[in-house]
Amino acid sequence: MPLSRGERKLLPPWFISMTDTQWPRFEVFLTEDEGKPAAHVGSVHASDPEIALLNARDVFVRRPQCRDLWVAPAGRVLFRTAEELRSQPVPEESNDKTENLYLVFCKRSHREPLVFIGYRAARSEKAALADAVQEISLPEPTLWAVVSDQAVIRSQAQERASFFTPAETKDYKQHVRYPVARLIKEIQGK
């Protein structure tokens, strides 16, 4: 059983490091095809960013359709639900830091995935979020995510042939090859 956030606060740090044997978590974003936005597909554990990218490929690109893969350390991705934003609006930060580039993701409804909507230059991730929230108000998105461009590790275009193309030619990786739906109908019909 993983410790809840409340439990963690009660325990000394040395205890957490002794019991938490998991490697750091990385969020994974996948672009299926040209013209489609990168979508959040899940997360992987990895010892470091390079292994995270490789693990993301093996866990999420077993089936074809992938052009591009991004990973980012989970701790660097700011997630905010619509409820959180309503109860705790993002503060307007006005410190004099220089602007950085952020990637903004948004989930427009419960049926849609969390997808990349664009880059924002801002003084912080919260400022980038505040900026994006103002821009897209209707319909109200259910979830937002913001991550610094510097925290994102991307697959390289020249790696496409070895990373993604092989999966396309493996018909055993394509669900249409397996007559599951037909078999279920047959069984149900008996």
Partner 1 sequence: MKFGLSEDRRQLIAGRLLEMADDELIVSHRNSEWTGHAPILEEDIAFANIAQDEMGHAVTWYNALSSLTGQDPDQLVFFRAPSEYRNIQLVELPKGDWAFSMLRQFLFDKWEATHLEALEQCSFQPAAEAACKIRHEEKYHLRHTRAWVRRLALGTEESKTRMQRALDLLWPYCPQLYERSPGFHLLVDESLMPNLPRLAPVWEESVRSELTEIGLRVPDYRSSLKLSRDMHTEYLPKLIEELQQVARLEPGVRW
Which amino acid is present at 84? E
DSSP state of 169: T
Task: Give the contact letters, 39-78, x = binds to partner 1 (CB under 8 A), - = no.
Answer: -----xxxxx-xx--xx-xxx--x----------------
Residue number with CB closer to partner 1 (89 or 179): 179
Residue number with CB closer to partner 1 (170 or 185): 170
Residue 45, helix vs strand vs coil? strand
Task: Give the contact letters, 126-165, x = binds to partner 1 (CB under 8 A), - = no.
Answer: -----------------------------------xxx-x
**Cα–Cα distance between 168 and 165 in angstroms, integer?**
5
Token pair in block for residue 71? 């990973």
**Restricting to residues 14-33, which ones interact with partner 1 according to CB under 8 A?**
23
Residue with tokens 């496409």: 160
Q: Count residues binding partner 1 (CB under 8 A).
A: 21
Which amino acid is present at 183? L
Residue 42 falls in which region: left (phi positive, over 0), alpha (psi -120 to 50) or beta: left
Would you tell me which residues interact with partner 1 (CB under 8 A)? Answer: 23, 44-48, 50-51, 54-55, 57-59, 62, 161-163, 165-166, 169-170
